[in-house]
Amino acid sequence: MHMIEDGNTAAALGVKLCRATVIAAYPITPQTPLTEKLSEYVESGEMKAEYIPVESEHSALAVCIAASSAGARVFTATSANGLLYMHEQVQWASGARLPIVMCVVNRAVGAPWNVWNDQQDSISQRDTGWIQIYCADHQQIIDTVIKAYWLAEKVNIPIMVCYDGYILSHTTMPFDLPDQEKVDAFLPPFQPEYALNPDEPANLNTVTLPDVRVDVYGELAHGYMEIRYLLQEDLRTTLQVAAEAEKRFAEIFGRGGDPYIEPYRCDDAEHVAVGMGSITYQMRVCVDALRNEGIKVGVMGVRFYRPFPDETIAYALQGKKSVIVFEKALSYGYEGALASDLKSALYEHLAGTGALPSVQNFIAGIGGREIRTEDLTHALRAATRGRVSKEPLWIGIKL
């Protein structure tokens, strides 16, 4: 069914289609309309779920962790400082191997306060062991929510579905609303291997020791290190499982492609711009303009940020003259997080092959600073002429 709605509604519809049964949410701009929509679905009876208006984001994820441990399919969403407040729980959820799906409506973090879009909130959580997928439009938002539940429940790792605050959350776009029957075919009911219950009592997530220890059956059980290793191992395996999710989705819904990256005019490009989220679609305009000037440039959206699809990205960029990374966040004290990870992937796979591109990093849109297409084009054009600077350059800065 054809819809024309905003990004938050697209996300809410995705959650409804996935039949989440426990929703906990605390309001924070620009996520609020998403949770309001869900409360409408629950109160009207459209969704058979418990909607918990928690008293903080830390509690929102606490409710989700507990409900998921007891076998419920859960959902929460947040932005910026809400995500930061949840951070302890974010780490907890992945260590507890719970298939929680959370939408992060990307917003700048305080201090100082800023309600507009950048990606510092989710980027600051990249080391937590969650899967992170970035959406570039409303179709991707609703499709990714659906794929995320399937994937999370398959690998038992929580997933952040990230999309730009205001730029996507509050703008209206056409998208296809998947059929409920097709979603039910794609996503079976949640059947965890174990759900907390009195007939099979267990003590979950208690203190582990540095070393391994024998359990009550005399079997040698993991130490903390093994449990964390398995999280990492399963995160890396997720890359293959994600491809499986994409394939299944395409079979049922008739759309999909590469789960990890979204290239545009990259095949014969000499220079490739890279970004995450809505900026990559904006960059297509820049790419078309520069192509008209005879510059062989393309843009590649990165969809999976964690686990980082290093092999896919490195081989997609193999032999290019330069890679220009545009980001809405950075790892303070060094450079853009995506640029760092990308350089590491390129080095890992292409060092010594002679096919290693140079990398230029631009930072844009911090705190919702307007990203003018002509500024992007200008920056991209300059970068194709040669590496502009070793340090990341901030586009649109007014110092």
Partner 1 sequence: MGTRSYKRKTSHSEPGPGDGGRTGSWRVERPVLDQSLCIPCKRNKEACYICWLFCPEIVISRTIPPTFDLEYCKGCGICAEECPTKAITMVDEAHFAEKEKDKE
Partner 2 sequence: MQAKTNILNLPTREFVHPGTRACTGCGLAIAYRIGLKALGKDTMLIVPPSCLTVLQGLFPVASTKLPCLNVTFASTAAAATGILAALKTQGKKHISVAAWAGDGGTSDIGLQALSGAAERGDNFIYFCYDNEGYMNTGAQRSGTTPIGAVTANTPFKGKQQQKKDVPAIMAAHKLSYVAACSAAYPLDLYDKIKGCVNLPGTKYFHIHIPCPPGWGYAPRYGIKIGRLAVETGYYDLYEIVHGEFKLTAASAKLVEKRKLIPVREYFRSQSRFKILTDDQIAAIQTEIDAKWAGYYKKDE
- Cβ neighbours of residue 307 under 8 Å, at least 6 residues apart? 131, 235, 236, 238, 239
Q: Is 191 one of the binding residues for partner 1 (CB under 8 A)?
A: no
Of 47-55, 112-120, 163-171, 389-397, which part binds partner 2 (CB under 8 A)? 47-55
Of 14-22, 202-210, 277-285, 322-330, which part binds partner 1 (CB under 8 A)? 202-210
**Do 348 and 310 form a contact (C-beta atoms < 8 A)?**
yes
Q: How far is the CB of 52 from partner 2 (least distance, A)?
A: 6
Output the CA–CA distances (angstroms, integers) from residue 128 to 62, 93, 148, 208, in the order listed.
16, 9, 17, 19
Q: Is 215 one of the binding residues for partner 1 (CB under 8 A)?
A: yes
Q: Is 32 one of the binding residues for partner 1 (CB under 8 A)?
A: no
Q: How far is the CB of 158 from partner 1 (least distance, A)?
A: 13
DSSP 58-112: HHHHHHHHHHHHTT--EEEEE-HHHHHHTHHHHHHHHHTT---EEEEEE-PPSSS
The Cα–Cα gap between 11 and 6 comes to 9
Q: Is 49 one of the binding residues for partner 2 (CB under 8 A)?
A: yes
Nearest CB to partner 1, comparing residues 196 and 355: 196
The Cα–Cα gap between 341 and 88 comes to 24
Nearest CB to partner 1, comparing residues 156 and 318: 156
Nearest CB to partner 2, comparing residues 22 and 316: 22
The Cα–Cα gap between 16 and 122 comes to 23
Residues 258-268: b if buried by 16+ CB within 10 A, e if exposed? bbbbbbbbbee
Which of partner 1, partner 2, none is residue 359 near (CB under 5 to 8 Å by kind)? none
Q: Of residues 4, 230, 351, 397, which one binds partner 1 by CB under 8 A? A: 230
**Do 30 and 11 form a contact (C-beta atoms < 8 A)?**
no
The Cα–Cα gap between 2 and 301 comes to 25
Q: How far is the CB of 21 from partner 2 (least distance, A)?
A: 4
Which of partner 1, partner 2, none is residue 71 near (CB under 5 to 8 Å by kind)? partner 2
Which of partner 1, partner 2, none is residue 399 near (CB under 5 to 8 Å by kind)? none
The Cα–Cα gap between 325 and 333 comes to 18
Nearest CB to partner 1, comparing residues 184 and 226: 226
The answer for 172, left when phi > 0, alpha when psi is -120 to 50, beta otherwise, is beta
Nearest CB to partner 2, comparing residues 42 and 289: 42
Of 31-39, 42-50, 174-182, 231-239, which part binds partner 2 (CB under 8 A)? 42-50
Q: Of residues 1, 216, 333, 398, which one binds partner 1 by CB under 8 A? A: 216
> Pattern 99-138, binding to partner 1, x per CB under 8 A?
----------------------------------------
